[in-house]
Amino acid sequence: MKVRTRFAPSPTGFMHIGNLRTAIFEYLVAKKYNGDFILRIEDTDQERKVEGAIDFIYKTLELCGFKIDEGPNNPKECGPYIQSERKDIYKKYAEELVSKGKAYYCFCSEKELEEMREKAALRKRPFLYDGRCSKLSKEKIAENLANGIPYVIRQKMPKIGTTVIEDLIYGKIKIDNSILDDQILIKSDGFPTYNFANVIDDHLMGITHVIRGKEYLDQTAKYNLLYDSFGWEKPTYIHVAMVLGSDGNKLSKRNGDASFMDLYNEGYLPSAIVNYLVLLGWSPSNNQEVFTMEELINNFDEKRISKSSSSYDVKKLNWFNQKYIKNLPDAEYLKFIRPFLTLDVSDKSEEWVNKLLLIYKDHISYGKEINEVVDIFFKDEIHISDELQEFLNSDEAIPKVISEYRHEISKIEDWNIENIAKVIDIVKEKTGVKGKLLYMPIRIKISGVEHGPELPDEIYLIGKEKVLDRLK
């Protein structure tokens, strides 16, 4: 049987990090076995639908390098791939369950349901629908339907025994049927619920592996009962532990956590984001950390997905992104980084700008950071912290070094990096000072910081007049 996985996001805005990680796992499982990766849009909750969100989904998957084998933008025989276009399909299967006695029409008003919720709250019990409409006679059901009374279709759950869930990561889990609610399958507006539409679509689209968050693990009992009601084969379930934020809560766009497009717009490379996210909850058999997509596909083992939650750490993401930026060819790096430079370079040559950007290629961890690290080249004055000023006052050789630098730099007629580097050697020879006391005083005086790119490059880009002024 050909492996088929599906990514089924809701079109409610940018794709958040936890959702994207699930998509990565789904994609890797499919491609590892030369299978199909299907995109399905789950828009059953029409109130939360955001205009343009489907385009964000396409864009995100494209940037991450995912090839969609089937989907709304690449339809095949299993379409349509947008749930709102499949309403008649769901209604047909819900009616089939009603005819089998596995589901029933529920005509309860919102007032009746609210009274049930209040009684459950008073008893300090979770609300479960009491199944009263499952006891209606055929005549009463026909009468209600003829009178146009609004209804939903509910799944008729067994009230005794257990339902067994088989999961690749968590093993065999038994769920007591007495805690299962008679869940709604078709809402009063004719749209299916998320749970019901998923089962129907996964079966009809031939999905063999369902990968989703651990928080949905208990819901799988309801899925399995639906599969059993239809006599369908169940897919392989792979539930993955949550990704937690720094506050210990699940990452969510509702909580304002970063989405993929937020990170992309900040200057994080999609390949770095994918590499980082796949290691949140999965570990390779070796100690490798940086992977190409091909390496991920070849090395991915779904059985090595962890049962434990992972913590989203932006510092670790920065580490990955910095490595990917450093590995870009210079021409590709310049094309990537140039749009993030927002400082005014109208009076600078293209050669100067490219040189500036290139000397910081090994020093930035995301695109927008370039403005923070290069602002010293655009300031008329710099600030030296008390700590660094204390260093400048810490050795009697430092004033002499600074004075000699200024003297030798003032003599340079052909302002280039090679001549600037020669000045450093001259100062070293004339003062007898080397190491930290030779380099750091100059860097601090001209930039206000103690670390940076190669000193001759930095001096060259700041410019002769500005360097002489800062060395006073």
- Give me the DSSP letters along 142-191: HHHHHTT---EEEE----SSEEEEEETTTEEEEEEGGG----EEE-TTSP
pLDDT (mean) for 208-226: 94
The band of 70, judged by pLDDT with boundaries at 50, 70 and 90, is very high
- Which two tokens mark 385? 């912290």
Gap between the Cα atoms of 190 and 197, Å rounded: 12
- pLDDT tens for 250-292 read 776 555 567 899 999 999 999 999 999 999 999 999 989 999 9
- Which two tokens mark 252? 């969510």
Look at the pTM and tell me if it is higher than 0.85.
Answer: yes
- Residues in a beta bridge with 82: 41
CB-neighbour burial class of residue 138 (10 A; exposed 0-12, middle 13-18, buried 19+): exposed
Catalytic residue set: 253
Identify the CATH assignment for 386-470 out of 3.30.390.30, 1.10.620.20, 1.10.10.350, 3.50.50.60. Answer: 1.10.10.350
Residue 459 DSSP code = H
Residues 6+ away with beta carbon under 8 Å from 431:
397, 400, 401, 404, 438
Common-topology check for domains 4-83+243-311 and 86-240: yes
pLDDT (mean) for 201-227: 95
Gap between the Cα atoms of 82 and 89, Å rounded: 12
Kindly indicate whether the domain formed by 4-83+243-311 is annotated with CATH number 3.40.50.620: yes
- pLDDT tens for 416-466 read 999 999 998 999 999 999 888 999 999 999 999 988 899 999 999 999 999
pLDDT at 352 over 90: yes
Gap between the Cα atoms of 112 and 457, Å rounded: 76
Domain limits, the chain: 4-83+243-311, 86-240, 328-377, 386-470
What does the mean pLDDT of the chain come to? 93
DSSP 3-state of 425: helix
| Phi-psi map region of 96: left, alpha, beta (phi>0 left; psi -120 to 50 alpha) | alpha
pLDDT (mean) for 185-211: 95
Classified by CATH at the fold level, domain 86-240 comes out as: Rossmann fold (3.40.50)
Which of 70-79, 241-250, 333-342 is least confident?
Answer: 241-250
